[in-house]
Amino acid sequence: MKYFRILLLMTIASYAISCGQQGNQKKNDDGNGFKYLTEQFADARILRYQVPGFDSLSLKQKRLIYYLSQAALCGRDVIYDQNYRYNLLIRKTLEVIYENYRGNRNSDDFRSFEVYLKRVWFSNGIHHHYSTDKFVPEFSKEYFSSLLKEVDPASLPLAKGQDVNGFISELTPLIFDAQVASKRVSLDPEKDLILSSASNFYEGVNQHEAEQYYESLKDADRKAGKDTLISYGLNSKLQKENGKIAEHFYRVGGLYSGAIEKIVYWLEKAVPETETPEQKEGLLLLIDYYKTGSLYTWDRYNVAWVKDLNSLVDYVNGFIEVYGDPMAMKGSWESIVNFKDVVATRRTQILSENAQYFEDHSPVDPSFRKKEVRGVTAKVITAAQLGGECHPTTPIGINLPNANWIRKTYGSKSVTIDNITYAYDQASQGNGFLEEFAFSKEEIDRARKFGYLAGNLTTDLHECLGHGSGQLLPGVTAEALKNYHSTIEEARADLFALYYIKDPEMVNLGLIADYETAKAEYDNFMRNGLMTQLVRIQPGKTIEEAHMRDRALIANWVFEKSKGKNIVEKVTREGKTYVHIIDYDKLRWQFGELLKIIQKITSEGNYREARELVEKYAVGVDPVLHKEVLERYKKLNIAPYSGFINPEYTLVVKDDTISDVQIIYPEDFAGQMLRYSKNYSYLPLR
Ligand SMILES: [Zn+2]
């Protein structure tokens, strides 16, 4: 189990809803003049988020946030390089042009150039952050070479002995040829997963060789009596050299040393500012891990981190999620700095205090339930800084650590990031999405009134109970489902949430007043899974991303099994398709049925059944419905993906001591990206 995060869960759906009594007229403003939506280009929009409560933190806590935030920014280049080995070279080239080109900056061509650069920043590279397909510029190769010839060659990242023409020939296919490195993460089971993916975790190594390498490594460790529970391969690149496979670790003195040294520098500054002994111990272990690359230390760090429950300020920093690797082994670098929202955390505390109840009453086969659910600590947090893979696009919920044995023995920390979901909500108000796709006025009203709470509760349930629920049969490992693992895992967590949001216990615990919240979630989930999430898919393409596949799997399966039973139907009115739920209780029962199946597949590690289920329900797209949805969506002029501008922090120094930390909220995405490139670039471009 390694996929514990929600990527922009339903940003278009549930967060296109206004909350509570607020009207839907306000756009892009919280009434205090804070601008949430700053710009839109291609399929992306740029939002800002506020950090409420920052000013009331103690000076020590502010300093801690400041140092951790600096560390969060220092790994930015790592994610670019992990995503694709030429990303840093391409980004640098584009930035040189952007900053130095003195020709006509108002031409259509230059505007297209600007959009392309912004898309590269938005995706941390030349592949779409979500679909992982390579995107190509809308300006011509000729225009690109004319731009390069206009700028001072000395400012370009030329290779040794290379002239501008040579540089142009090197870069042109990398940028313009859609067939070169066409996909960052390919999950096509018919192909070699590694060779068909452009991500930079393996070089000269194919899937079979990588599998063999780690199998024999594990074997050798087992024979030597070593702990084999570590996350093999998490922090390294496999590379074939002179016919032999070498594993290069990300650490000080190893791969990415330039950036990691800086991360360590800021983490060391943070140590004296820690709030608890556990937090201090964790930070010291993390520093040690970055220096040695030892995965044993990484596990010890995670244990310390998960035990630190009393610090207000917390952080994620490391090579963590494995979505970027088709083999689901290599961790992409990420960081989030945050602090607890004490009032809102009460909601998740109630859930985690009752985790055993939910586990015992889950509809899955009793042998797949956890006898004893351990320490699912859940909190609502305020993000203060996003970095690496979590920026500019960010998850809204996280559940870590990923190592199964640590989760089992020590539990995990689950968070919902409320200031981010709030920003989504605010930026989406009144954009017309709900009005276009909801079946009835009743549904719209319900969504307005309960949608925000429903979305947050679903995230809480998904993260703090769903992923932590269930157990694997002895001998089954999380890797058993390979390329289907993440879809199945996300579906499992979603189904757990969907099943329980309509449970009487939720009312008993005072988390919801009645079932209207659950109904709002069901409306939203089915509408999204059957229809509206297709706005993120290009015509002719299939569904690839794990969370989208998970939602399609659930919605399509339930829809098929409901046929003729008056549970859920598709209705056509004036040529437009709508999803209408007839019986919410029966729908809940269907979610429970699918949860049983998915849990069985997970517990038994049944690859064949996972493959059948995913390929049948989660991948394909009905082209006619897809076309209709895209046309309706286009008229609304909403970009389907959101990324964020970070706040920026400055130390206020008086008489050589830090007297305060100031926070500002920049509005210019390009400005922030250029500042980051200027101030936090520590890796070689080639
Ligand atoms: Zn998840």
Per-residue pLDDT tens over the stretch 600-634:
999 999 999 999 999 999 999 999 999 999 999 99
Q: Which tokens in the block code for residue 510?
A: 């005072």
Whole-number Å distance, alpha carbon 232 to ligand 1 midpoint, is 22
Distance CA 222, CA 228 (A): 6
Three-state DSSP state, 239: strand
Whole-number Å distance, alpha carbon 398 to ligand 1 midpoint, is 7
Whole-number Å distance, alpha carbon 375 to ligand 1 midpoint, is 18
267 φ, ψ (degrees, to nearest 5):
-65, -40
What ranges do the domains of the chain cover?
Answer: 15-77+257-644
Whole-number Å distance, alpha carbon 3 to ligand 1 midpoint, is 6
Whole-number Å distance, alpha carbon 560 to ligand 1 midpoint, is 24
Tell me: cis bond preceding 401? Omega within 30 of 0 counts.
yes
Whole-number Å distance, alpha carbon 342 to ligand 1 midpoint, is 23
Spans of the chain below 70 pLDDT: 1-32, 375
Whole-number Å distance, alpha carbon 395 to ligand 1 midpoint, is 10
Residues 6+ apart with CB under 8 A from 297: 285, 288, 289
Whole-number Å distance, alpha carbon 491 to ligand 1 midpoint, is 8
SS (H, E, C) 267-279: HHHHHHHCCCHHH
The per-residue pLDDT for 590 is 98
The per-residue pLDDT for 640 is 87
The per-residue pLDDT for 100 is 97
Q: Contact, 13 vs 524, CB < 8 A?
A: yes
| H-run or E-run covering 386 | strand 376-388
In terms of Cα–Cα distance, which of 224, 268, 270, 215 is closest to 245?
Answer: 215
Whole-number Å distance, alpha carbon 493 to ligand 1 midpoint, is 6
Q: How far is CA 676 from CA 77, 392, 647, in A?
A: 10, 12, 12
Three-state DSSP state, 338: strand
Whole-number Å distance, alpha carbon 341 to ligand 1 midpoint, is 21
Whole-number Å distance, alpha carbon 474 to ligand 1 midpoint, is 23
Distance CA 438, CA 532 (A): 10
Whole-number Å distance, alpha carbon 267 to ligand 1 midpoint, is 28
| H-run or E-run covering 46 | strand 44-48
In terms of Cα–Cα distance, which of 270, 267, 261, 262 is closest to 291?
Answer: 261
Whole-number Å distance, alpha carbon 674 to ligand 1 midpoint, is 32
Whole-number Å distance, alpha carbon 212 to ligand 1 midpoint, is 29
Beta bridge partners of residue 641, listed in sequence order: 44
* Residue 253, number of CB atoms within 10 A of its CB: 11
Beta bridge partners of residue 660, listed in sequence order: 652
In terms of Cα–Cα distance, which of 328, 270, 281 is closest to 306?
Answer: 281
* Residue 436, number of CB atoms within 10 A of its CB: 16
What sign does the CA torsion over 446, 449, 451, 453 have? negative
DSSP classification of residue 158: P
Residues 6+ apart with CB under 8 A from 531: 437, 577, 579, 625, 629
Residues with Cβ–ion distance below 5 A, ligand 1: 490, 493
Whole-number Å distance, alpha carbon 484 to ligand 1 midpoint, is 14
Whole-number Å distance, alpha carbon 547 to ligand 1 midpoint, is 8
Whole-number Å distance, alpha carbon 490 to ligand 1 midpoint, is 5
Distance CA 316, CA 412 (A): 13
Burial (CB < 10 A; 0-12, 13-18, 19+), residue 385, is buried
Whole-number Å distance, alpha carbon 467 to ligand 1 midpoint, is 7
Three-state DSSP state, 572: strand
Whole-number Å distance, alpha carbon 471 to ligand 1 midpoint, is 16
The per-residue pLDDT for 408 is 84
Whole-number Å distance, alpha carbon 72 to ligand 1 midpoint, is 22
Distance CA 528, CA 551 (A): 8
Whole-number Å distance, alpha carbon 422 to ligand 1 midpoint, is 19
Whole-number Å distance, alpha carbon 494 to ligand 1 midpoint, is 7
Q: How far is CA 163 from CA 56, 89, 99, 159, 564, in A?
A: 55, 15, 21, 8, 69
Each residue of 446-457: b (16+ CB within 10 Å) or e? bbbbbbbbbbbb
Whole-number Å distance, alpha carbon 192 to ligand 1 midpoint, is 26
Distance CA 244, CA 240 (A): 5
In terms of Cα–Cα distance, which of 93, 277, 88, 63 is closest to 172?
Answer: 93
Q: What is the pTM of this model?
A: 0.81
Whole-number Å distance, alpha carbon 407 to ligand 1 midpoint, is 15
Whole-number Å distance, alpha carbon 266 to ligand 1 midpoint, is 30
The per-residue pLDDT for 397 is 87
Whole-number Å distance, alpha carbon 5 to ligand 1 midpoint, is 4
